[in-house]
A and B are shown apart, each in its own frame.
Chain A
């Protein structure tokens, strides 16, 4: 069974940092493109970042609101996706989901909550 499990969320002060993890199982993670998507409380879905597989170049793309502050990365030896979030703002408060990419987001994790507040 394909499974994605996010972790690393929590409460952080504005300007702080946090690293999210997404543990993958049930599929060949190294071949997969992966994305992070977030959802602020009571709001819609917002794509955050995407990373291609290393065989497809391993390139990354970011949504404008997080470009320069967030970094998506992967460790194929650990079947794990990461999102390093720096210079956090209150508007980054959201549930963060990781998802496999195949004709858009295919399989989703259950999400991890990030709260940015003083």
Chain B
């Protein structure tokens, strides 16, 4: 099975900060990767698909990059509504989520 290693598991940041979250796949997954945001008590919301394509309606401060085994989600300027938990998902072989990154207010 493909393992997804997501880092960091949590981070503290201030409004306006640039934030980067990384996912590493245990084997190559081309660009079969998506990023999700989840707020407490709510279903996840997709932000990025195909590693770097922005989901319709998602602010442009969110961006994704990478291919193969290394992927990055970047929030260019953190906003108050962005404090949440973020997950990556590989869908190349079966499906595997990363462990999650909780973004907290500094």
Is the C-beta of A97 less than 8 angstroms from some C-beta in chain B? yes
Q: Does the CB pair B44–A108 fall under 8 Å?
A: yes
Query: Residue B91 contacts which of A46, A64, A104 (CB distance < 8 angstroms)?
Result: A104
Q: Does the CB pair B96–A47 fall under 8 Å?
A: yes
Distance of A63 Cα from B96 Cα, bound (Å): 9
- B-side contacts of A110, CB under 8 Å: 43
Q: Does the CB pair B50–A47 fall under 8 Å?
A: no
Is the C-beta of B49 less than 8 angstroms from some C-beta in chain A? yes
Distance of A102 Cα from B94 Cα, bound (Å): 14
- A-side contacts of B46, CB under 8 Å: 104-106
Given contacts A45-B44, A64-B1, contact A104 B87 (CB under 8 A): no
- A-side contacts of B44, CB under 8 Å: 45, 97, 105, 108
Q: Does the CB pair A104–B49 fall under 8 Å?
A: yes
With both chains docked as a complex, state the minimum distance between the C-beta of B50 and any C-beta of chain A, in angstroms.
Answer: 5
Query: Residue A105 contacts which of B33, B34, B96 (CB distance < 8 angstroms)?
Result: B34
With both chains docked as a complex, state the minimum distance between the C-beta of B54 and any C-beta of chain A, in angstroms.
Answer: 12
A33 (CB) vs chain B CBs: closest residue: B91
With both chains docked as a complex, state the minimum distance between the C-beta of A78 and any C-beta of chain B, in angstroms.
Answer: 22
Q: Does the CB pair A104–B95 fall under 8 Å?
A: yes
- A-side contacts of B98, CB under 8 Å: 44
Q: Which residues of A contact B (CB under 8 A)?
A: 35, 37, 44-47, 50, 61, 63-64, 97, 101-106, 108-111
27 A/B residue pairs, CB under 8 Å, sorted by A: A44-B97, A44-B99, A45-B36, A45-B38, A45-B44, A46-B97, A47-B95, A47-B97, A50-B94, A50-B95, A97-B44, A101-B91, A102-B49, A103-B34, A103-B50, A103-B53, A104-B33, A104-B46, A104-B49, A104-B91, A104-B95, A105-B34, A105-B89, A108-B43, A108-B44, A108-B45, A109-B43
Further contacts, 20 of them, CB under 8 A, given A47-B95, A103-B49, A109-B43: A37-B97, A44-B97, A45-B87, A45-B100, A46-B97, A47-B94, A47-B96, A47-B97, A63-B94, A101-B91, A103-B32, A103-B91, A104-B32, A104-B33, A104-B91, A105-B36, A106-B46, A108-B44, A110-B43, A111-B43
